[in-house]
A = this chain, B = another copy of it.
Amino acid sequence: MSQSSDPQTSRAQGSEVTAAVLIIGDEILSGRTKDKNIGTIADMLTEIGVDLREVRIVPDVQAEIVAAVNALRARYTYLFTSGGIGPTHDDITADSVAAAFGVGIDIDPRARAMLLERHRPEDLNEARLRMARIPDGADLIANPVTKAPGFRIGNVFVMAGVPQIMAAMLDEIRPTLTGNAPVISETIEAGAIPEGNFAGGLSEIAAAHGSLSIGSYPSMTPDGFRNRIVVRGRDADAVAAARAAIEKLLEELRV
């Protein structure tokens, strides 16, 4: 098998800090709500040099959440979950994560205190106190928007599903994460040159630069298809060399 036909060899090497994302919620699977959180988390992870390797979306069903949490936390450095930590009966993420870790869960005094920053004591009914249920041994993630916290247990970060709250929790978490050397990403505009015209040459360039991830991305514009080639890697010299080779290839195709 040549290098060019083995996808593994054209991916960025040496990326040891990895992550997965788990989106929890029937409303995403029914199409009623369109997910915005995957892209937000993906962008942040790329910025700090963490390699997002897998995303899953599962329904509000405890057995599904437990299975996904355990599969993903075992395999990747970090797991980020979003959704299912509100006060209603369908918010079962905290209990499911406790079950996944095999630990107890109860109302956490620190989380209760946070809720009291927003709610009067007499308004802390059973439903709202659900938002203070935190698995044993977890650290809290502050929620500057509505106070009800997320939490971290082991390598799992449990966040809200509302995009504005999730983004605020992500800002809280970000300084605590360790990334790899940042990935350098270079985009080369192929314009209207069809993918089929440069695919052969690009494959050879990808084979010659095994430490880089090189992809071709078509998009439809009002003027027809346009193509972009993206080179990603941690070695600046290798990225620059691949970029030069791709620009040369495209130049030859333009004449």
In the assembled complex, the CB of A1 is this many whole angstroms from the nearest CB of chain B, namely: 10
Whether A89 touches B10, Cβ cut-off 8 Å, given contacts A119-B196, A215-B60, A230-B27, is: yes
Chain A: number of interface residues, binned into ranges: 35 or more
Chain B residue nearest in CB terms to A195: B87
Given contacts A127-B195, A200-B125, contact A88 B215 (CB under 8 A): yes
CA distance A245 to B59 in the complex (A): 24
Instruction: Please choose the segment from A35-43, A169-177, A236-244 that sits at the chain B interface, where 4 or more of its residues have CB less than 8 A away.
Output: A35-43
- Segment 111-151 of A: residues with Cβ below 8 Å from B: 119, 123, 125-128, 130-131, 145-146
Report the copy number of this chain in the oligomer. 2
Assess whether A90 is in contact with B225, with CB atoms less than 8 Å apart. no
B residues less than 8 Å from A25 (CB atoms): 215
Contact assessment for B215 and A26 in the assembled complex, using a CB-CB cutoff below 8 Å: yes
Question: Residue A185 at the B interface, CB < 8 A?
Answer: yes
| Shortest Cβ distance from A127 into B: residue | B199
The reply to whether B126 and A59 form a contact with Cβ atoms under 8 Å apart is no
Q: Which residues of B contact A57 (CB under 8 A)?
A: 38, 54-56
The complex places the Cα of A126 from the Cα of B55 at a distance, in Å, of 33
- Complex Cα gap A88–B230 (Å): 12
Q: Say yes or no: is A162 at the interface (Cβ < 8 Å to chain B).
A: yes
Whether A250 sits at the interface, judged by CB under 8 Å, is no
- For window 198-233 of A, CB contacts with B under 8 Å fall at 198-200, 202-203, 206-207, 213-220, 225, 230, 232
Q: A42-B28, A57-B55, A196-B119 are in contact. Are A214 and B90 (CB under 8 A)?
A: yes
